[in-house]
A = this chain, B = another copy of it.
Amino acid sequence: MVTDPAIELVVNTVSASNALLRASRRVFRPFGLSEAQFNVLQVLQDADDQLSQRELSDILIVDRSNITGLIDRMEKAAWVKRQPAPGDRRAYRVALTPDGRRLWRQANAAYVQAIARVTVNLTPAQIKAVSRVLPVMERSAHALELELAAAE
């Protein structure tokens, strides 16, 4: 079967991402965390608890409605809490709890270790080269998505 290199690139990218996500599920499972929940912890940690659900959905690039249930479950687990957003009665300010911060620290350590494992067979030059190229394709994909969405 003759395969166009561009098609191969797209297939390889999605395929590698799937493998990474499947492995990360195993990494996070001992902590009772999903990939999506780890991302929320990560983003909140980086942002110093200043985020509304809308900002979370923008950063994580998922629908607003998705954040509702995600934060519901994480709040029930006492890893985050919703507080009223000062000056806007529509919105919440989502904050890590001390438990959430502790969990992030542990899960992140395991995550960093796992990343070292999955990149051990790559040279620094390869890592940098791929890291430079992929965002170019990502931007094109995003532009295409917006264009097709607007054409509805």
Chain A residues with a Cβ under 8 A of chain B: 1, 4-10, 12-23, 25-27, 29, 46, 61, 112, 114-122, 124, 126-131, 133-142, 144-145, 148-149
Q: How far is the CB of A29 from chain B (nearest CB, A)?
A: 8
Q: How far is the CA of A132 from the CA of B59 in the complex (A)?
A: 30
Find out whether the CB atom of B145 lies under 8 angstroms from the CB atom of A22. Answer: yes
Smallest CB separation, A151 vs chain B (Å): 9
Number of copies: 2
A43→B29 CA distance, assembly (Å):
31
Contact A137 B16 (CB under 8 A): yes
What CA separation (Å) do A25 and B144 show in the bound complex?
11
A23 in complex: contacting residue of B5, B126, B145, CB < 8 Å = B145
CB distance from A89 to the nearest CB of B (A): 32
What's the Cα separation between A16 and B134 when bound, in Å? 6
Contacts of A144 in B (CB 8 A): 23, 26-27, 114, 117-118
